[in-house]
Structure 1
């Protein structure tokens, strides 16, 4: 594993456990079992350190789509199961998701870094394409217009789950959303 990845992974763990304020150069050195000052060599400033973590989170998010494939034709019940499966697949990296959500709030004033975790994340385009395929497979009118909303809903459910905010029936929420979308004309 490359040293930058080792530092970024340590940063993800620190943020997941203690929030963004826990991310310091010295804490990363300790978490990664590196000699004191090692992190500063790779990330001179706090923003540089956050950028390393952000890039690592973005790379991991892209891997979340590995193996995701949406059939060409689905019933709505099957589509709900596929959407919940995507949510479950993304939720398996709980520390990464916790760090990502914490950073999203921390970086509200930094469009560049926040964008790499949200609307401009490299994973957003393929995830939206999968959502569009899912909506097309169940016959939704204008699936391209609704796909970003479905991605946003899955992300919101993921955040709720990661934060352990309250128990939510993901399938019921996703099913209600899909049931409310207009079907394409026969």
Structure 2
């Protein structure tokens, strides 16, 4: 097996692990199930991740990196209206096309209560997102950008969770606009 195919198999295993965590929960995340979902020969996943904990840790690290791209430097909103629109689209996307990835993230949040590695990886990813968002708010003239960021992100996480759980979040745009504007005062 070439190094390239090992990397490819590792990536396929991690993609499958995210799919399993998002659709069936953390308890369903096993080496054998990952092999099956990824279409890999039996035992392939355990060659990359010797223990279940190693599989979980690698999957959460992979998740954090996958979500990092959503907050790229070039995508900063240039006005409050642009920001509200971008946040509304983010919520719609997280609860729609990226539903499985979002569900995996929430499953890992719960896992982080008991697993320091999972908690630390998620906290590190959150810190990067908070910094990106606070810099964006600072550029838009918000007087307390880090406090505003925490308030806005808390609302967004709740709205996404509500939409995943109850399949609705009426008035999301109006609520986001009110929260964002209140943070700018």
Q: Same fold (TM over 0.5)?
A: yes
Aligned residue number for residue 180 of structure 1 = 182
Kindly indicate whether residue 53 of structure 2 is the aligned counterpart of residue 47 of structure 1.
yes
Single out whichever of 36-45 and 158-167 deviates more from structure 2: 158-167
* Partner SS state of residue 116, structure 1: helix
Unaligned runs of 5+ in 2: 1-6
Give 3-state SS (helix, strand or coil) of 2:113's partner: coil
2:86 matched to 1:82? yes
Residues 113-124 of structure 1: matches in 2 within 5 Å? 113-117=118-122, 119-121=123-125, 124=127
C-alpha distance in 2 between matches for 1:38 and 1:44: 10
**Higher mean C-alpha displacement, 80-89 vs 129-138:** 129-138
Asked if 1:153 is matched to 2:155, the reply is yes
Secondary structure of 1:180 counterpart: helix
Within 5 Å, which residues of 2 pair with 1:9-158? 9-66=15-72, 68-71=75-78, 74=79, 76-91=80-95, 92-117=97-122, 119-121=123-125, 124-125=127-128, 127-136=129-138, 139-158=141-160
- In structure 2, the CA distance between the partners of 1:63 and 1:163, relative to structure 1 (3 Å rule), is farther
Total equivalences in the alignment:
177
Kept after mapping to 2: 8 A contact 1:70/1:133:
no
**CA–CA distance in structure 2, aligned partners of residues 33 and 182 of structure 1:** 50
Q: CA RMSD in A?
A: 2.4
**Residue 85 and residue 136 in structure 1: after superposition, are their counterparts in 2 closer, same or farther (change >3 A)?**
farther
- Higher-helix-fraction structure: 2
TM-score normalised according to structure 1 size: 0.80
Residue pair 2:159, 2:169 contacting (<8 A) in 1 also: no
SS in 2 for 1:64: helix
Distance 1:143 1:8, change over 3 A: same
**Residue deviations 1:73-103, cap 9 Å, x none?**
x2x5443223223434555422111111111
SS of match in other structure, 1:178: helix
